[in-house]
Every structure is written in structure tokens, then in C-alpha cells.
Structure 1
Amino acid sequence: MRVATLILLALLAVVHAELWFGKGGLPRVWSLGEQVTALQQANEAASLRNDQLAAEVRDLKEGLEMVEERARLELGMLKPDELYVHLSREAAQAASVSQPAATGQVTTP
């Protein structure tokens, strides 16, 4: 009986040693945990960089429209196939007065 108990205790010790220090033991789990932490930090850094790049792309897309609008209004710039027509307020008022047919009124001489 004593021999069987010693054999069982020895087998139990071998199994526990394999569980704690073997291929899937604590040292392996700790190293994998450190690798996971390092990869998560790298993913966070990459995510921040992606957000910055997306913001730059958005600014470039929207910024060009804003720059184009300011150039058109303040500097009178045109695209190659456009025609620029500038009307002063006096000319616009004179045009509306001289064309009463546009308002539905008909005048006879």
C-alpha cells in the first residue's frame, strides 16, 4: 500500500510539474501575455496614426473646396472653361428696370 501511494504521489508531482513548467506552463503564459500587451500598444499607436492620416485627407478634400471658393470670390479666379461675368449694382438695377417683361408687365410706347 505504501508503494502504491508513493507511485501515485510521484505521478501527481510529474503532472503538476508539466502543468506549471511545461510547454503550456506559467513561463509560456507570462511571455504570451507580454507579447499581447506589446501588440495592443502597437495597435493603439497605429490606430492613432490612421486617425491622423484620415483627418489630413479630410482636410485636404474639404480644404481645396474652401480655397477654391475664396479664390473665386476674393480674387475672381476661374476654371479653364468658365466665363466670368461681373455686374455692378447699378447695372443690375438698370437691367431690372429696362426689362419689365420679365416681371410680367407690358409697356406700350
Structure 2
Amino acid sequence: MHKRWFVIIMLVLLTALQARLWFGKNSIADYRKMDAQVQELKRQNANLEQRNSLLKADISDLQLGLESIEERARNELGLIKEGETFYRILPQEK
């Protein structure tokens, strides 16, 4: 008789745990939904990281381009920025 009750109680507990596992809060279905969301967010992050890398490369190119333009303007056109003082050093005549 005691064995029979023990088996019945164990089956009820097992059924309750299985029901919670499959249908309750944080069930397997919830896990799969969350996993799908995580994978989608990882994909979006990878796309955004790639976009950020391209933007950083563009910024770097623009900065280098502006620096080279400024250097050329200084050498060829005598560019002097506001607040700068221009000095020309001439070689001594022999």
C-alpha cells in the first residue's frame, strides 16, 4: 500500500514538473523564443559593427584628406590659420 502511494506521488510530481517545463514560465518554448531573439540581436550587432567600421574608415580618410589638403595649402599657397604667426627664414647670402 505504501509503495503504491509513493509511486502515485512521484508520478504526480513528475507530471507537475514536466508541465512546468513545457508550459510554465521560463519553459522550453520561452527559451527558444529568447534564443531566437538573442540570435537576431547578435546579427543586428554584427551589421552595426560592420557599419561602424566603415564609418570609422571614412572618417579617417576624410581626416587624412583634410590634413593633406591643409599641408599642401600651407606649402604651395602660404596658408596661415587664425592665431598663427608666420616666420620665413631666409638663407644667408654668401
Q: TM-score, normalised by structure 2?
A: 0.73
Q: Where does structure 2 lack aligned partners over 5 or more consecutive residues?
A: none
Shift of 1:6: 1.9
The CA distance in 1 between the partners of 2:14 and 2:70, in whole Å, is 79
Q: Where does structure 1 lack aligned partners over 5 or more consecutive residues?
A: 85-94, 100-109
Kindly indicate whether structure 1 or structure 2 has the higher relative contact order, using CA contacts under 8 Å at least 6 residues apart: 2
Between structure 1 and structure 2, the one with the greater Rg is: 1
**Aligned positions, number:** 88
How is 1:5-84 mapped onto 2 (pairs within 5 angstroms)? 5-71=7-73, 76-80=76-80
SS of equivalent residue, structure 1 residue 24 = coil
Per-residue CA distance 1:25-65 (angstroms, 9 max, x = gap): 11000000000001001101110111111111111111112
Q: Identical aligned pairs, as a percentage?
A: 35
Q: TM-score, normalised by structure 1?
A: 0.64
Shift of 1:82: 5.0
SS of equivalent residue, structure 1 residue 79 = coil
The CA distance in 2 between the partners of 1:8 and 1:64, in whole Å, is 77
